[in-house]
Structure 1
Amino acid sequence: MTTCPVPVAYRVTDRWDETHDTVTLRLEPAARWLAPFEAGQFAMVYAFGVGEIPVSVSSLPTVGHGLAHTVREVGAVSAALCRKRIGDTVGLRGPFGTGWGLEAARGRDVLVVAGGIGLAPLRPLVRHAVAAPEDYGRVNVLVGARSPGDLVSRVETRRWSTAYTGVTVDHPDPYWRGEIGLVTRLLDRAHFDPASTAAFVCGPEPMIRATARDLVHRGVPADRIRVSLERNMRCATGHCGHCQLGPVLLCRDGPVIGFDRAEPLMSTREL
Structure 2
Amino acid sequence: MVESEAMVIPIRAEVREVREETRDTKTYKLYIKGKKSEEFRPGQFLMIYLKGFGEIPISLSDLAHDLEDGVLATITVRGVGVVSRYLLSNVREGDVIGVRGPFGRGWPVERAKGKDILIAGGGIGFAPLRPVLRYVWNNREEYGKIFLVYGARSPADMIYRYELESYRSIPNAEIHFTIDRAAEGWKGEVGFVPDVLTKMKLSQQLVSFVCGPEIMMRIASKRLIEAGIDPERIFVSLERRMRCGMGICGTCQFGPYYVCRDGPVFSYSEVYRYMEVEGI
Q: Is the 8 A contact 1:43 1:55 kept in 2?
A: yes
1:150 to 142, 157, 172: 157
Moved more, 200-209 or 147-156: 147-156
Distance 2:16 2:182 in 1: 34
Aligned to 2:31: 28
1:225 match? 234
In structure 2, how many angstroms separate the alpha carbons of the residues matched to 1:178 and 1:112? 17
1: CA distance, partners of 2:177 / 2:116: 19
Q: Distance in 2 between matches of 1:27 and 1:49?
A: 20
Corresponding residue for residue 76 of structure 1: 82
> 2:51 aligned with 1:66, yes or no?
no
The one of 130, 144, 147 equivalent to 1:140 is 147
| Distance in structure 2 (CA, Å) of the matches to 1:191 and 1:131 | 25
Equivalent of residue 268 in structure 1, options 256, 260, 277: 277
CA contact (8 A) 2:63 2:134 kept: no
**Range that drifts further, 108-117 or 184-193:** 184-193
1:181 equivalent to 2:191? Answer yes
Structure 2 vs 1, CA of residues 193 and 21 (structure 1 numbering), >3 Å: closer, same or farther? Answer: same
**Helix, strand or coil for the counterpart of 1:223?**
helix
**Superposed, which structure 2 residues align to 1:39-188 within 5 Å?**
39-62=42-65, 64=67, 66-83=72-89, 84-160=91-167, 161-162=169-170, 163-188=173-198
Q: CA deviation at 1:189?
A: 4.9
Verify the 8 A CA contact 1:97 1:253 in the aligned structure 2. yes
Structure 1 window deviating more from structure 2 (42-51 vs 204-213): it is 42-51
The share of aligned pairs that are identical, in percent, is 41
Q: Please list, as runs of the form range in 1=range in 2, the aligned pairs for 1:189-204 lying within 5 A after superposition.
A: 189-190=199-200, 192-194=202-204, 196-204=205-213
2:20 corresponds, among 17, 23, 34, to 17
Following TM superposition, by how much is the alpha carbon of 1:159 offset from its aligned partner in structure 2, in angstroms? 1.2
* Alignment match, 1:255: 264
Residue 243 of structure 1 corresponds to 252
In 2, Cα distance between the equivalents of 1:183 and 1:13? 34
SS in 2 for 1:78: helix
Query: 1:197: how far off?
Result: 0.3
**In terms of mean alpha carbon deviation, does 14-23 or 56-65 score higher?**
56-65
Letter in 2 for 1:10: A
2:198–2:223 CA contact under 8 A, matched in 1: no
2:219 maps to a residue whose letter is A
Deviates more, 1:124-133 or 1:252-261: 124-133
Gaps of 5+ in 1: none
**Aligned pair in 2 of structure 1 residues 63, 146: CA closer, same or farther (>3 Å)?**
same
Distance in 1 of aligned mates of 2:232 and 2:146: 19
- TM-score normalised per structure 1: 0.94
Could you list the per-position Cα deviations for residues 180-232 of structure 1 after superposition, in whole angstroms to 9, with x for gaps in the alignment?
111122224545311x1000000000000000010011011000101000111
Q: Residues of 2 paired with 1:130 and 1:95: CA distance?
A: 23
CA distance in 1, matches of 2:144, 2:201: 10
Q: Taking structure 1 as reference, are residues 269 and 99 closer, same or farther at Cα in structure 2, changes over 3 Å only?
A: same
Equivalent position SS for 1:211: helix
- TM-aligned CA deviation for residue 179 of structure 1: 1.2
Is contact 1:138-1:192 (8 Å) kept?
A: no
Q: Distance between the aligned counterparts of 1:36 and 1:244, measured in 2?
A: 25
Q: Closer, same or farther in 2 for the Cα pair 1:76/1:270, shift >3 Å?
A: closer
- Superposition deviation, residue 131 in structure 1: 2.2
Q: Could you tell me the TM-score, scaled by structure 2's length? A: 0.91
- How many angstroms apart in 2 are the aligned matches of 1:128 and 1:237? 26
SS of 1:102's partner is coil
1:177 to partner: Cα distance: 2.4
